[in-house]
Amino acid sequence: MSKIILTGDRPTGRLHLGHYVGSLKRRVELQNSGEFDKIFIMIADAQALTDNFDNPDKIRDNIIEVALDYLSVGLDPAKSNLFIQSAVTELTELTFYYANLVTVSRLERNPTVKSEIQLRNFETSIPVGFFTYPISQASDITAFKATTVPVGEDQLPMLEQAREIVRKFNSTYNCEVLVEPDALIPENSTCSRLPGTDGKAKMSKSLGNCIYLSDSEEELNKKVMTMFTDPDHLQINDPGKVEGNAVFTYLDAFAKDEDFAEFLPDYKNLDEMKDHYRRGGLGDVKCKKFLQKVLNKELAPIRARRKEYEKDIPAVYDILRKGTEVAQAEAAQTLAEVKAAMRINYFDDEALISGQQEKFNS
Range 166-185, binding ligand TRP (CB under 6 A): none
- Using an 8 Å Cβ cutoff, are 175 and 334 in contact? no
Least Å distance, CB 237 to ligand TRP, is 44
Q: Which of 8, 18, 74, 186 binds ligand TRP (CB under 6 A)?
A: 8
Nearest residue to ligand TRP by CB is 44
Nearest CA to 281 out of 325, 239, 245, 247 is that of 239
Does 163 bind ligand TRP (CB under 6 A)? Our answer is: no
CB contact burial 91-102 (16+ within 10 A = b; e otherwise): bebbbebbeebb
Least Å distance, CB 227 to ligand TRP, is 25
Does 140 bind ligand TRP (CB under 6 A)? Our answer is: yes
Q: Which of 50, 62, 81, 137 binds ligand TRP (CB under 6 A)?
A: 137
In this structure, which long-range contacts are made by residues 302-306, counting pairs with CB atoms below 8 Å and at least 24 apart in sequence?
302/72, 302/73, 302/74, 302/213, 303/72, 303/214, 303/216, 303/217, 305/71, 305/72, 305/73, 305/74, 306/68, 306/69, 306/71, 306/72, 306/213, 306/214
**Binding region for ligand TRP (CB under 6 A) out of 4-12, 51-59, 248-256, 288-296:** 4-12
Does 186 bind ligand TRP (CB under 6 A)? Our answer is: no
Question: 139 vs 229, which CB is nearer to ligand TRP?
Answer: 139
Question: 7 vs 197, which CB is nearer to ligand TRP?
Answer: 7
Q: Which of 21, 28, 107, 141 binds ligand TRP (CB under 6 A)?
A: 141
**Binding region for ligand TRP (CB under 6 A) out of 136-144, 166-174, 273-281, 353-361:** 136-144
Does 10 bind ligand TRP (CB under 6 A)? Our answer is: yes
**Binding region for ligand TRP (CB under 6 A) out of 8-16, 67-75, 236-244, 316-324:** 8-16
DSSP codes, 244-291? T-HHHHHHHHH--HHHHHHH-TT-SSHHHHHHHHHHS---HHHHHHHH
Question: 12 vs 72, which CB is nearer to ligand TRP?
Answer: 12
Q: Which of 4, 5, 9, 74 binds ligand TRP (CB under 6 A)?
A: 9
Nearest CA to 299 out of 221, 242, 235 is that of 221
Tell me, by CB under 6 A, how many residues bind ligand TRP.
13
Question: 120 vs 268, which CB is nearer to ligand TRP?
Answer: 120
Question: 74 vs 152, which CB is nearer to ligand TRP?
Answer: 152
Least Å distance, CB 24 to ligand TRP, is 11
DSSP codes, 82-144? EEEGGG-THHHHHHHHHGGG--HHHHHH-HHHHHHHHHTT-TT---HHHHTHHHHHHHHHHTT
Least Å distance, CB 302 to ligand TRP, is 20
Helices (H), 187-242: 189-192, 217-225
Least Å distance, CB 214 to ligand TRP, is 18
Interatomic CA distance for residues 40 and 5, integer angstroms: 6
Does 44 bind ligand TRP (CB under 6 A)? Our answer is: yes
Does 151 bind ligand TRP (CB under 6 A)? Our answer is: yes
Residue 31: CB atoms within 10 Å: 19
Interatomic CA distance for residues 247 and 274, integer angstroms: 11
At position 87, the amino acid (one-letter code) is: A
Does 6 bind ligand TRP (CB under 6 A)? Our answer is: yes
Q: Residues interacting with ligand TRP, by CB under 6 A?
A: 6-10, 44, 47, 137, 140-141, 149, 151, 155
